[in-house]
Amino acid sequence: MTIGSLDLTSLRSAYAAGLRPHDLILEIEARIKAHADPALFISRPSLDALLARADALAALPIVERGPLFGIPYVVKDNIDVAGLPTTAACPEFAYLPEASATLVAKIEAAGGILIGKANLDQFATGLVGVRSPYGVPRNAFDGDYIPGGSSAGSATSVASGLATFSLGTDTAGSGRVPAGLNNLVGLKPTPGWFSTSGVLPACRTLDCVSIFALTVADSWAVAEVVAGFDPTDPYSKRFSWAVPGALPAKVRLGVPAAKDRRFFGDHAGEAAFLQTIEQLDAAGHELVEIDFEPFFAVARLLYEGPWVAERYAAIKDFIEADPSRLHPVTRAITLQALEKTAVGTFESMYALEAARRMTESTWGQIDALVVPTVCRFWRVDEVEADPIVTNSALGTYTNFVNLLGLSALAVPMSFRADGLPAGITLIAPGGRDAWLSSLGRGLEALNDLPLGATGLPRPEPVVLPAQVPDGMIGVAVVGAHLSGLPLNRELLDLGATCVRATRTAPAYRFYALAGGPPFRPGLVRVSDGTGVSIETEIWALPPDGFGKFVSGIPAPLGIGTLTLEDASQVKGFIAEPVAVEGAVDISGFGGWRSYLKSKS
């Protein structure tokens, strides 16, 4: 059987058609040999071990096969895998863990097959991918350019068609920059959503494990396996579970104001980003220019502030015993910790909170930020000539994200005039990971890009069911909570995702209520035959989020049972009869958006 793309959809179809995990492993071995990049992997299981794992999975009854059955994956070599050394790209530091990291254990239990531990910027210090004594993994498109770091090998292995997905880590952008440089999806979760137990820390208070994948759907499928609270990780957090839904009809997207668009002379990258902005506008989304200085102020804190001391703390005994064993650039950065003071630490913490407060107003204007994932494609020789400045530039739109506890998703969007990939990163408040995945799927579908650097076509998109998922509660909204409108953020903050856009049955009158702002409509059921059908969206909320949402609804509005145009019923906004006193009947507009458009 011919094996093509390793994306999840294609591999699952191949397994259903008779592919054996044993044969897949032999194919991957052949691909790795042909790829011939000695700097890609730091260690790998033996072929005998890989085939034994594949055969053991194949022997399982179908009902016992996990969601990642027979799926090949890679992990960054600062993540523990039992039986393989963890080096963090420093041979003298290497140790042999007795147990795998929590996330690796979950993937193994789900049926994944680990094919190798990937090269990285030493001790995950860098966004460039060239700071390793094991060499520089090749960029999947052009070896003259950097692969991005610190998760260099994690990204290039997937982009080169050697694995379905990989795990990286992300402190300052290491789960996003390599994705942008290699035409991949990079899922950077809300800090604390994925366990970091068994991960060698860089900055423990900020670190996230990230996922590199060929499609947004693939990244979410892996996230569903690995996410969840881990009591062994002091930084693990409990989150309300949500799932991706339909792309909302309209999303308010914040883009850097013209003065804040930094590409460091990369005109092809700048042109590609402007083209993407135009495409988003043409797709009907609302674009809002954002003053990025508050975010840049946070970004500067990451390397100018005391967080570099966390890097020192992670390897304190090792570096104090013999600093010369570190890569020269890694050593120079890490030893800056000795210049930090306790007083300076608190001053930076105060500065962070002040900057955080300045950024908060942004989220009242938009649903997500859209930034270029990579501000410039640097060549390897350029980075080696000026390692600090080039690395700092790569963090322009990434460094602030974890300091602010945000969620992020890097998505491929186009190819530049020079043939290199160009992508964007979607950034939203923490906890909106599922919603970002919904948005990412929609934007990914705007362009039929090949997968990674394989040249292979994308599979048919996974169609999400237009029903409220089990365990969640649906709510119909008809006014200011519609996507792209001012109160929609209340739903997003509670972990809601859009299920579908639809209309009510023709049994309602629609009113613009007195008062405001915020201006609100009222939906009243009538039985005299004068009812009309009203535009609505169905959103799915976790049970605790639904309770919080309902408790905040002010009189004379409430939650009742609405009948939709397909005769199904769902909870949704209704108005008490007293609400129509002094209200304007706007039923003829057929929806709140049309009414607002007439007013403007």
510 Cβ partners below 8 Å, 6+ apart? Answer: 478, 521, 522, 523, 524, 532, 534, 585, 586, 587, 589, 590, 591, 592
Query: Any idea what the Cα angle at residue 298 is, between residues 240 and 301, rounded to 5°?
Result: 120
Interatomic CA distance for residues 104 and 107, integer angstroms = 5
Q: With contact defined as beta carbons under 8 Å apart, do 359 and 298 qualify? A: yes
Q: With contact defined as beta carbons under 8 Å apart, do 427 and 367 qualify? A: no
398 Cβ partners below 8 Å, 6+ apart? Answer: 127, 172, 173, 176, 177, 299, 373, 408, 425
Question: 3-class SS at 14?
Answer: helix
> Among candidates 217, 18, 174, which has minimal Cα distance to 88?
174
Told to judge if 76 belongs to the known catalytic residues of this protein, a careful annotator would answer yes
Strand order through the sheet with 208-213: 41-43, 113-118, 72-76, 165-170, 208-213, 185-188, 407-415, 421-428, 368-372, 252-256, 286-290
CA 591 to chain centre: 33
447 Cβ partners below 8 Å, 6+ apart? Answer: 279, 412, 413, 414
How does strand 368-372 pair with strand 535-541? Answer: unpaired
Q: With contact defined as beta carbons under 8 Å apart, do 179 and 186 qualify? A: yes
Q: Give the residue carrying structure tokens 């009414």.
A: 595
Candidate list 5, 76, 100, 219, residue with the active-site label: 76
Told to judge if 33 belongs to the known catalytic residues of this protein, a careful annotator would answer no
Interatomic CA distance for residues 556 and 504, integer angstroms = 20
Interatomic CA distance for residues 198 and 80, integer angstroms = 5
Candidate list 174, 407, 437, 483, residue with the active-site label: 174
Interatomic CA distance for residues 90 and 312, integer angstroms = 15
Largest CA distance in the chain: 86
For 105-158, the DSSP string reads: HHHHHTT-EEEEEE--SGGG--SSS---TT--PPPSS-TTB---SSSHHHHHHH
Told to judge if 598 belongs to the known catalytic residues of this protein, a careful annotator would answer no
Fill in the amino acid letter for 457: P
Candidate list 100, 150, 166, 219, residue with the active-site label: 150
Interatomic CA distance for residues 156 and 539, integer angstroms = 37
Q: With contact defined as beta carbons under 8 Å apart, do 109 and 101 qualify? A: no
In terms of DSSP H, where are the helices of 464-581?
488-493, 543-551
Dihedral angle, C-alpha 434, 69, 155, 455, nearest 10 °: -100
Q: Each residue of 347-383: b (16+ CB within 10 Å) or e? A: ebeebbeebbeebeebbeebbbbbbbbbbbbbebebb
Active site residues: 76, 150, 174
